[in-house]
Structure 1
Amino acid sequence: MTADITPLFQPLTIGDMQLPNRFVMAPLTRCRAINHMPNALMKEYYTQRASAGLIITECTMVSPGTSAFAHEPGIYNDEQVAAWKEITDAVHARGGRIFMQIWHAGRAAVPALNNNQAPVSAEPTAISGTARTPVGEFPYQTPEALTEAGIREIIKDFRTGAENARKAGFDGVEIHAANGYLIDQFLRDGSNHRDDEYGNHWHGRVKLLTDVLEAVLSVWDNRHVGIRISPLNGFNDMKDSDPVALVRYLCSHLNPYDLAYLHIMRGDFRGEQLADVVSPATEIYKGQLMVNMGYTPDEAAEALADHVADLVSFGSAFIANPDLPERVRTHAPLNTPDPATFYSQGPEGYTDYPSLSA
């Protein structure tokens, strides 16, 4: 690390919270929630990382029967709420702040994991290939195109998920509108060719996100709600004909809501779709902007110093370094993440990465 890292340690106020630093723990699927239940192992994992300015949880199901990974957590019943409350209490006891990422998988849901329940999406187009999960590899199936009545039910599920997240003691929620899951499937024109009010034009493709957002804002103050988007990411067979225009439209559309933040992924996991989507977001979005995807601490500090963004989220760095801010502050070496254990079902590669104090 050679850059001035001071910007990473400047506090930032979001709503009624003061973040002590600009390190955000990105939402990270880890597949430890057996039967979709949060548990003691997850409590240890999140509590270990409470020194982050903000933790965003892994994607969390707002509806039963929508599993894409086999062991992702849910927030749709009272037992899950109680289990999550133990986690948020522990994070807060360590001085941390934590948002829940609320999520619907859409066509990425795997019928074999959901009692053969058919997935749903904007249109009946399947993801190619197979879903790789901790319990096996399964073919994706053609989803059912959502009716407007079905869309209304999902919006209700997001509202209930937001209510349950509040009951569980979270500091806010992030709406997952990225990475080829349901809301993203409506946003991008490669997966939405509808000719009703939920497609056909910019306003139509963003309508599901708008309706979900307004349902969530009926539960939470706007400064406790964030949104994550991935305009370039080709994961889950996603593509848009003009991702820069999509970013420009979304930023203008979301400005009046004055949210906690807009969280943008700058790249494509596949490396196929190339464009600068951060610059238009920096230019147009008036609220707090969070950037993500492959930032080193040096690059993150430079982005903050140059007012490109207000926050930077780190993924694999937080997987391997529970005390990431302290390691960066003291210029200590970083642990190396082990992808082979990212999605296993126990403590290995999850809670056993050493901290400096160890």
Structure 2
Amino acid sequence: MTQLTPARDIDVIAPSFKRRHSGVTSTVIRLVPLQAKDIAITACAPELPPEVPNLAPGKLLGLPRNGPSGARVWHARRNVEMVAGLALKYLAGKRLKLLFTSAAQRRHTGFTRWLIRQMDAVIATSAKSASYLEREATVIRHGIDCDLFQPVDDRAALRQELDLPHDGPLIGCFGRIRHQKGNDLFIAAMIEVFGKHPDAKALMMGRATPEHQAFLQKLKEDVADAGLSDRILFRDEVPIADLARHFQALDLYVAPQRWEGFGLTPLEAMACGAPVVATKVGAFEELIVEGETGHLLEIEDGAGIAEQVARILSDPAALKAMSKAARENVLRRFRIEQEAASIIAIYRKLLAA
């Protein structure tokens, strides 16, 4: 689908300049089509799926100086996009209100702090992210498409379709494969747990970039040395269209990260009825209700991950109750419609200023 709204009538531009798929790309892909139903918004990216309204970056300079409401909103999510917004405003003379969403949970560099000070408004994706900002920010947590990410009636049939083991519990760990994501903690925990739960299986799915291939290879060797290559499976990342089905195939999800900005995968898993065992990074402490929808552990606590996974697998009734609670928690607090509406309210406030 090409952009339906003429460029001159656009009120909000949401840039995403990185060509490689990332969390920001996912955010833009999820939000912009939904927001476009209520406000004249377009993404601005090199390449996006056809259903996402998109203005080619090369056309930015050709935009009229004013938007239909006067100034347009430029919603940046990376430094490079904040820089581009400032250049368009002060060098190209475009009337823009600059908005930045921050997910980082660390002290920003001096340059980033300067960029953030130039923004007209700031959104933080979690209370923890907001605590690292040196200015006022509105906390708007990410949401999930709960119609796409929802439990299925027959997990065994779905697993057969996906060529996954269809008997016994299946534990997942998805996303980029690298040290900071804690994949090694997941593998070590699964090796320990599977000695006590011979029917359990695990799926680690994601892409390792060239610099992390040795790390991935070591994980595969550890699994082979433990004699578990038929029970701990490795798969490359799948197209976005197939991602929800893999979450739906899981009984339990593990998020063992050492560092994370926000971290959507626990929400995606819980929306599909899979409780989550996670470390206390990103927004995980704000997403998971301890003891009800999963468990939270300190960073690097691989033994704790193994203990909690084993405990959950040993109590099918508790797992069923946590599965129900996980889904209800996302429905109540983390629907994507709530996120989209909250961000649109910021847009409208800036457009009216």
Tell me the TM-score range normalised by the shorter chain: under 0.3
Q: TM-score, normalised by structure 2?
A: 0.26
Q: TM-score, normalised by structure 1?
A: 0.26
Q: Which has the higher helix share?
A: 2
| Bigger-Rg structure (1/2) | 2
